[in-house]
Chains A and B, each alone.
Chain A
Amino acid sequence: MSWLTVARLDVRIADTVVCQDLSLSIESGQCWGLLGANGSGKTTLLHTLAGLRPPASGHVLLQGDDIDSLSRVQIARLLGLLLQDSSDPFPATVLETALLGRHPHLSRWQWEGERDRQIALQALASVGLEGLSGRMIDSLSGGERRRLAIATLLTQQTPLMLLDEPSNHLDPYYQINLLTLLTEQRQGALMMSLHDINLAARFCTHLLLLLSDGQVLSGTCAELLNVEVLERLYGHSMVCIENDSGMAFLPR
C-alpha cells in the first residue's frame, strides 16, 4: 500500500531548483534515505512532502488524497515530521513536551488522559529518557533534546514518518539504537535525510538523491550505492571499503 505518492513534483527555493518532475511512491515497509550535498534542498523537500510548503507544481498524495485537501490535523494523524532543529524559549518539562505529540488525536476540549501519558512515557523510555520526565527541557543536552524530539514523534504514533537528519547530535550508541527503533515500524514507512552514507546504507531500503542541478535519482540501495553515483552526488572522490561486517563509503 502506498502511503505517500509524489506526482510530477517541482520544488524550488527562489530560483534554485531542488527537484524537477519528481515522481515516486513510498510503500509500506519501505525506508527511504534522502541524500544530497549541503544546500541541495533536503529540508525543503521534506517540508513540501509534509504539506507545509506549496510545490512550484505537481502533487503530493497522502494515502491517495491530495495533501492540500486535508486539514493539518488529518495530516498529523498520518504523517509525523521530525524537524532538524528545535528551539525552546519557554520552560516546559520533558513529559509535557512529549505529550504534545498527542495533539492530533485529542478533540478541542479534551485533556490528555492516562492512556496518552502511558504512550508518552513509553516513547520516552524507548529513547532512553525514562526518569527524566520531570526535568525542564532547557537543562537537557543537545543529544537529549534530539531524543526528546524523537520521543514526541513516536508519541504522535503516525504510520508515515519524515525525519530531517534524525542522527543529529546523537552518539553512535543512540544513532544505531534509535534508527533501528524507527525503521522497525514495518507496517508504516519513512523517509529520512541523512549526512552519513553508511547509516543510509545500513537502514534504508531505497534512496532519493538530490544532485546539484535539480536532477534527482531514486531507486533501491542496491542500484544507487556505488562510488560513481556518490562522487557525482557530493562532487568529491569516494572510496568503498569492504570487509566481513559489510562495506563502508569514505571520502578520499
Chain B
Amino acid sequence: MIRARLLFVMLLLLAAISLVFALAHGSVSISWSALWQILIGERSGVAATIVWDLRLPRAGSAFVVGGLLALAGTLMQALLRNPLADPYILGISGGAAVMALVMMLLGLGTVWVKGGALLGALVSMLLVFGLAHGRGQWTSTRLLLTGVVVAAGWGALISFLLAISPERNLRGMLFWLMGDLGHESASTGSWLLLLTGLMVAFALARPLNLLLRGEWQAAALGVDVRPLRIGLYFLASLLTAMAVTLAGSIGFVGLVVPHILRLLVGADHRVLLPAAVLLGGSLLLLADMLARTLLAPQQLPVGVVTALIGVPVFLWLLYRSASMSARSAE
C-alpha cells in the first residue's frame, strides 16, 4: 500500500498545483505574490474580483466535471469489461446534445439548455437500458452494441440540427458540443453528486474488481451480478448526465484517466476510484487553463484541448501496452 499512499500524496499535490495555476493564469496574468495576497484575504482590486468571482468558481466546475467524467469512465470500463469504454459510449452525451441543441434552436435560455441536456441524457440512458435489456440476456456486448448504435443515431440528429440551424446559433452550438466551462459555476448539488457517487462506487470496489474477471467468475465468488450491473449503469449514467449538463461533452478525460492510473497502480478499484476523481479533476483544471490562455483573449472549447492532449497520450499508451505484452510474450 506504500505505492497507493505515495500516489495519493502526489495526486493531492497535483490538484493543488493545478488549482494555483488555474487561478493565476488567464487572459489577465496575476503574479504569484499578488495571488498569495488575494488567497490569504485580500478582497479589493480587480485581480481579487477575477480570482474570487471568475476563476475560482470556474476552477471548481472544471474539477467537478473532470472528477465526474473520470469516475464515470472507470465505472463504465468495469461494467462493459472493455478498456476502451468511456462515459459517452452508451449515447448519453448524444441524447443530452440533441435536447440541448433543440433548446438553443428554439432560442431558450441557459436554464432550458441545461434542463434539456439532463432530460436528453436520462432519456438516452433509459432507452439504451430498455433496448439492451429487451427479452434476452443482459450481456456487456449487447449493452455496448445498443449504446453505440443509439449514439450513432443521436450523431445523425445532431448533424441534422446543425444543418438546419440559422448562422447566428451555430457558434454557441458548436461550443456546447465541444465542451465549454464558461457558463456558470458548479452547484452544491454537483459536488454532492460527485462525493456521493464516489462513496457508493467505493462501497462496490471489491465486487467491481471481481466483475473485471467476468460475470460468471464474479458470481461464483459471491457477487450478485445483476443488481450490481444495473446499479453501476445508473450511477455511471447519472454522473455523466451531470457532467454533460454542466459543461457539454468533453471527451477523453473519462477514457484516459482510468488507463493512466491502471498503469501506475494496477486495477484495484479501492485505489482506482478515488484516484480517478483527483486525477480527472486536476487534468480538466489544467486543460481549462490552457483553453483560456493558449489563444488569449480568445477562449477555446475545453473539449478541443482535452482531445488534443488525449489523442496522443492514448495512442502512446496503446503502443506502449502492445509493445509491453509483445516483450512479455517473448
Give the interface centre of B81, B221, B268, B270 by most chain A CB atoms within 10 Å: B221
A-B CB contacts (within 8 Å), total count: 76
Q: Determine the distance from Cα of A216 to Cα of B51 in the docked complex, in whole angstroms.
A: 78
How many Å from the CB of B226 to the closest CB on chain A? Answer: 10
Q: Which chain B residues numbered 78 to 134 have a C-beta less than 8 Å away from chain A? A: 81-83
A86 on the B face (CB < 8 A):
yes
Please determine whether B213 and A88 come into contact, CB atoms closer than 8 angstroms.
yes
B214 on the A face (CB < 8 A):
yes
B220 on the A face (CB < 8 A):
yes
Please determine whether B328 and A138 come into contact, CB atoms closer than 8 angstroms.
yes
Q: Which chain B residues numbered 256 to 308 have a C-beta less than 8 Å away from chain A? A: 262, 266-268, 270
Q: Determine the distance from Cα of A206 to Cα of B318 in the docked complex, in whole angstroms.
A: 50
Known interface pairs A81-B220, A93-B266, A108-B203; A100-B210 also in contact (CB < 8 Å): yes
Q: Determine the distance from Cα of A71 to Cα of B216 in the docked complex, in whole angstroms.
A: 15
How many Å from the CB of B120 to the closest CB on chain A? Answer: 31
A interface secondary structure, majority: mixed
How many Å from the CB of B321 to the closest CB on chain A? Answer: 8
Which residues of B sit under 8 angstroms from A103, Cβ to Cβ? 206-207, 210, 221-223
Which residues of A sit under 8 angstroms from B329, Cβ to Cβ? 139
Which residues of A sit under 8 angstroms from B220, Cβ to Cβ? 50, 52, 76, 80-81, 83
Please determine whether A136 and B206 come into contact, CB atoms closer than 8 angstroms.
no
Please determine whether B81 and A89 come into contact, CB atoms closer than 8 angstroms.
yes
Q: Which chain A residues numbered 71 to 92 have a C-beta less than 8 Å away from chain B? A: 71-73, 75-77, 80-81, 83, 86-92
Known interface pairs A89-B81, A100-B209; A136-B221 also in contact (CB < 8 Å): no
How many Å from the CB of A162 to the closest CB on chain B? Answer: 9
Known interface pairs A72-B223, A103-B206; A86-B217 also in contact (CB < 8 Å): yes
The answer, among B77, B224, B270, for a CB contact under 8 Å with A72, is B224
Known interface pairs A89-B83, A91-B262, A139-B328; A77-B222 also in contact (CB < 8 Å): yes
Please determine whether A92 and B217 come into contact, CB atoms closer than 8 angstroms.
no
Please determine whether A90 and B262 come into contact, CB atoms closer than 8 angstroms.
yes
A128 on the B face (CB < 8 A):
no
How many Å from the CB of B223 to the closest CB on chain A? Answer: 6
How many Å from the CB of B224 to the closest CB on chain A? Answer: 5
Q: Which chain A residues numbered 88 to 119 have a C-beta less than 8 Å away from chain B? A: 88-93, 96-97, 100-101, 103-104, 106, 108-109, 111
Q: Determine the distance from Cα of A88 to Cα of B213 in the docked complex, in whole angstroms.
A: 6
The answer, among B224, B267, B270, for a CB contact under 8 Å with A111, is B270
Which residues of B sit under 8 angstroms from A138, Cβ to Cβ? 325, 328
A48 on the B face (CB < 8 A):
no
Please determine whether A91 and B266 come into contact, CB atoms closer than 8 angstroms.
yes
Please determine whether B216 and A83 come into contact, CB atoms closer than 8 angstroms.
yes
A156 on the B face (CB < 8 A):
yes
Give B127-157 as 1s and 0s: 1 = Cβ < 8 Å from A's Cβ atoms.
Answer: 0000000000000000000000000000000
Please determine whether A52 and B219 come into contact, CB atoms closer than 8 angstroms.
yes
Residue of B nearest to A139 (CB): B328
Q: Determine the distance from Cα of A247 to Cα of B213 in the docked complex, in whole angstroms.
A: 40
The answer, among A75, A90, A101, A136, for a CB contact under 8 Å with B212, is A90
Please determine whether B222 and A90 come into contact, CB atoms closer than 8 angstroms.
no
Please determine whether A73 and B262 come into contact, CB atoms closer than 8 angstroms.
no
Q: Determine the distance from Cα of A136 to Cα of B325 in the docked complex, in whole angstroms.
A: 10
How many Å from the CB of B231 to the closest CB on chain A? Answer: 14
Please determine whether A91 and B267 come into contact, CB atoms closer than 8 angstroms.
yes
Known interface pairs A83-B216, A86-B213; A156-B221 also in contact (CB < 8 Å): yes
Residue of B nearest to A104 (CB): B222
Q: Determine the distance from Cα of A77 to Cα of B220 in the docked complex, in whole angstroms.
A: 10
Give B184-206 as 1s and 0s: 1 = Cβ < 8 Å from A's Cβ atoms.
Answer: 00000000000000000001001
Known interface pairs A89-B81, A100-B209; A75-B222 also in contact (CB < 8 Å): yes
Please determine whether A100 and B221 come into contact, CB atoms closer than 8 angstroms.
yes
List, sorted by A's number, 9 A–B pairs whose CB atoms are closer than 8 Å. A72-B222, A75-B222, A77-B222, A83-B216, A89-B212, A97-B213, A103-B206, A111-B270, A139-B329
A-side residues, CB < 8 A to B, are: 47, 50, 52, 71-73, 75-77, 80-81, 83, 86-93, 96-97, 100-101, 103-104, 106, 108-109, 111, 136, 138-139, 156
Closest 9 pairs between A and B when the two form their complex, measured CB to CB: A76-B222, A139-B328, A104-B222, A81-B220, A73-B222, A72-B222, A90-B267, A90-B212, A72-B224
Other than A47-B216, A75-B222, A76-B222, give 11 A-B pairs with Cβ distance below 8 A. A50-B220, A52-B220, A71-B224, A72-B223, A83-B217, A86-B217, A93-B266, A97-B213, A103-B222, A111-B270, A139-B329
